[in-house]
Chain A
C-alpha cells in the first residue's frame, strides 16, 4: 500500500507543479500537454470480432483529419493509441493497464465489446480514468452512482427492447408472441427491456422463447419450433447472419407472422439483401441512425460531409459497413466534448462535460435524435423511431420514441 500511496502523492504533486507552471486558467490531467491530448482505445482488430475493427480505423482517420486540417482540438493534436485486444477480456485488462499506467492516456474512448469492457469496468473506476462512450449496447454502462467514470453511447438494447414491447402492446391486443434470441448478454438485455415495455399483464402472451448459440450453423429448427407453437407475432433478437437465415426460412415455409427485427440486424446490405428483399416486406425495426445505404439521405449535409470524409481520409473502407457510420457519429460527439473542456483538460472536467450535453446534434442521426446527458443520466442516446421495410429500404413511421431512465 505504501508504494501506491507514494505514487499517488507524487502524481498529485506533479499535477500541481504542472498546473502552476502553465498559465493560471489552464489545468491539465495526465496525457495532456499544450500541444497534445493522448487518448487510449482497445479494439478487436484480430480474432472473432475483427469485423468491428473498422470502427477504430475510422476514428483514427477522423483524428488524423482534425490534426492535419484544423491543428487538432483547441490547438492540441489528438494522439489516439488504439490497441488490438482480439476481443479477449484478459488482454483488454492488460492493454487498459498499459494505456493508463505506462502510456498515461487522458481517457479511454470507444473501447469495443461488452465482455472486454466489463473486464476493465471496475479498474477504470478505481483509477478514476474516464471510460467514455463505450462501444456496446449493454444497459449496464449508465450507472453513474456506482461507476461515475463509465458512460455508454448508442441506445442500449434494453431501451430498444422496451420500445418494441410498447409498440406491440399498443397494436396487438391478444397476440401469440414468439421470441428467437441469441444466448448471451445482448439477448438477455433485449428480453428484459421487451418485458418491461410489454407490461406485466401482456407477458402471458409469450408462448415460445427459444435461443441459439452464436456458433450454431443455422436457426432453421428454431423457426419451425416457433411456427408450430402457433406464434403470430415474432420478436427476432439475432445478429446479422442469423437474421438473414430466419427471414429466408420464414418465407420458405410460407409463415406470415408480424415480425419485429432488432436494430443490430436491420442492415439492408448485410441482412435484407442476402435474405431477399421480397421476403423482408413489412418487417418492423427501430432506428436512430440514418441508413447511409439509402439514397433518400444522400442530399442531407451531414451524409454528404461523411461521404467526403470517407473518400478523402479513409478511402479503403467499405462505406456499406454500418460501423463506419456509427463510429463516425461517436467520434464527432467525443470531439465536441473535448472542445467543451476548453483549457481545463482534467479527467473530472471531461466527465462533467460529457454528462451535461443538452440536445446535441451529431451527424448521421435521424432527424430529431439528440444527445442528452446529465449527472444522473449516463445514457447519451435513448430515442429511436419505428421503421417498416418497404420496397428495398426502411420507411420511418410514427413518432420518435424514448424511454426515460433518469
Chain B
C-alpha cells in the first residue's frame, strides 16, 4: 500500500481549478436555455448518475486510497442508503430531502460496526469479508421478516420529487442540482478531514500501520471511524440513486455494482479526489460507449457476429491501465510534472 501517492488531495494551491471546475458543473443545466433538444433531460439524468457514482467512489476512495483498507462490499452500503431513503419515503411519508441525512447516519452506523470485525482482517482477507457483504445484502433484502418493508423481490416504487415551482427547473435539472450540491458537500467534508490531523493519522496507518501505533495513533479507532465515514458517504449516494431512479429492488445492488465502483476508483486514480469524479463519469460512459463501439464495428467491418460489448469494455480497461497505471488522474499528474519540469529547466 505504500506505493500510493497522495496526488493533489492534500496539497494546496490548486483551489482555483477546483472552484472553476465545480462552477462549470453547476452551469451545465443552464445549457437547457439555449437548446430545444428533447434529449436534454436525458443528459441531465446521465449527469445525475455520474455524480452519484462519483460520491460512491469518493466513499470508497476514502477507505481504500487514504486508509489502505480494501472493500469489495460498498454496493451493500449503497443498498442500505437507498433502502433507508425508500422506506422512509414510502412508509413514513418523509420528504425526499430529509431521508438523505438519515441514510448517511444509518450507513455510518453500519459501516462503523462492520469496522470492528474488519480490524482483525488485513488486505485480501478484508476484501473477502466485505465481498460477503456484497453477496449477502441483496439476499437479506428479500428476507421474509423484513420483506413487508423492503418490498421483497418486487422492490419499492417511489414518487419522483417535483421541483419547487419558483425555481422554474425541470425535474431532471432540479435533481441534477440536488446531486451536485451533495457531491460538493461530500468532497468538501472529505477534503477538510484529509487535511487535518485525522487525515494524517489515516494515511500514516495506510503507509505503515505498525509504525503509526507507537506514534500515538489509535489505529483501531481511526480504522473503524474511517470505515463508518466511508460507508456514510456511499450511503448518501445510495439515497440519491433511490430518489433519482424512483425505484429500488435487490437486483439493483449486485456484486457487479461493487466491482464497478472499484473500477471507477482505479480508473480515476487511487487517493485522488478529482479522480472520483472522473471515475464516476467513466463507469457511466464506458458501458454505453462500448455498446456503441460494438455496433459500429459490426456495421463498419460488416461482421456476421456481434462483438460482445463487455469484451470491448475489457480491452479499453486493459489499454487504460497499460498507458496510465495510476489511473487517469495519475496520468494527468505525471504529464503535468513532466511539462512543468521541462519549463523550469528551460528557464
Contact = CB atoms under 8 A, between A and B. Distances in A.
Contact of A90 (B46, B152, B173, B252): B252
A48 B170 CA distance: 35
A87 B38 CA distance: 27
Contact of A115 (B45, B163, B241, B249): B249
B247 A184 contact: no
Contact of B254 (A48, A57, A93, A94): A48
Most buried by A among B155, B251, B291: B251
A64 to B, nearest CB: 12
Contact of B38 (A11, A93, A185): A11
A287 to B, nearest CB: 26
B39 interface: yes
B289 interface: no
A183 B153 contact: yes
Contacts of A171: none
A6 interface: yes
A2 B33 CA distance: 10
A119 B249 contact: yes
Given A97-B42, A115-B153, A118-B157, A1 B165 contact: yes
Contacts of B163: 1
Contacts of B161: none
B142 interface: yes
A102 B39 contact: yes
B259 to A, nearest CB: 12
Contacts of B173: 3
B246 to A, nearest CB: 7
Interface string B142-155: 10100000001111
Interface in A1-55: 1-4, 6-7, 10-11, 45-48
Nearest to B46: A94
A90 B237 CA distance: 13
B41 interface: yes
Given A83-B291, A101-B42, A119-B245, A89 B309 contact: no
A183 B142 contact: yes
A129 to B, nearest CB: 12
Contacts of A215: 139
Contacts of B144: 183, 211
Interface string A49-77: 00000000100000000000000000000
Interface in B149-203: 152-155, 157, 163, 165, 168-171, 173
A122 B246 CA distance: 9
B32 interface: yes
A101 B170 CA distance: 14
**A contacts with B: majority SS:** helix
A2 B41 CA distance: 13
B301 to A, nearest CB: 17
A104 interface: yes
Contacts of B302: none
B36 A93 contact: no
A94 B45 contact: yes
B32 A184 contact: no
Interface in A68-118: 83-84, 86-91, 93-94, 97-98, 101-102, 104, 114-116, 118
Contacts of B42: 97-98, 101-102
A101 to B, nearest CB: 4
A211 B152 CA distance: 13
A115 B252 CA distance: 9
Most buried by B among A3, A11, A121: A3
Contacts of B38: 7, 10-11, 101, 104
A146 interface: no
A298 interface: no
A6 B32 CA distance: 11
B310 interface: yes
B41 A89 contact: no
A123 B159 CA distance: 10
B49 interface: yes
Given A89-B155, A94-B45, 20 more contacts: A1-B165, A2-B168, A4-B170, A11-B38, A46-B310, A57-B306, A87-B251, A88-B251, A88-B252, A88-B254, A88-B257, A98-B288, A101-B39, A102-B43, A115-B251, A118-B154, A119-B247, A121-B157, A122-B246, A215-B139
5 contacts: A7-B38, A101-B38, A115-B154, A116-B251, A184-B142
Interface of A: 1-4, 6-7, 10-11, 45-48, 57, 83-84, 86-91, 93-94, 97-98, 101-102, 104, 114-116, 118-119, 121-123, 183-185, 211, 213, 215, 316
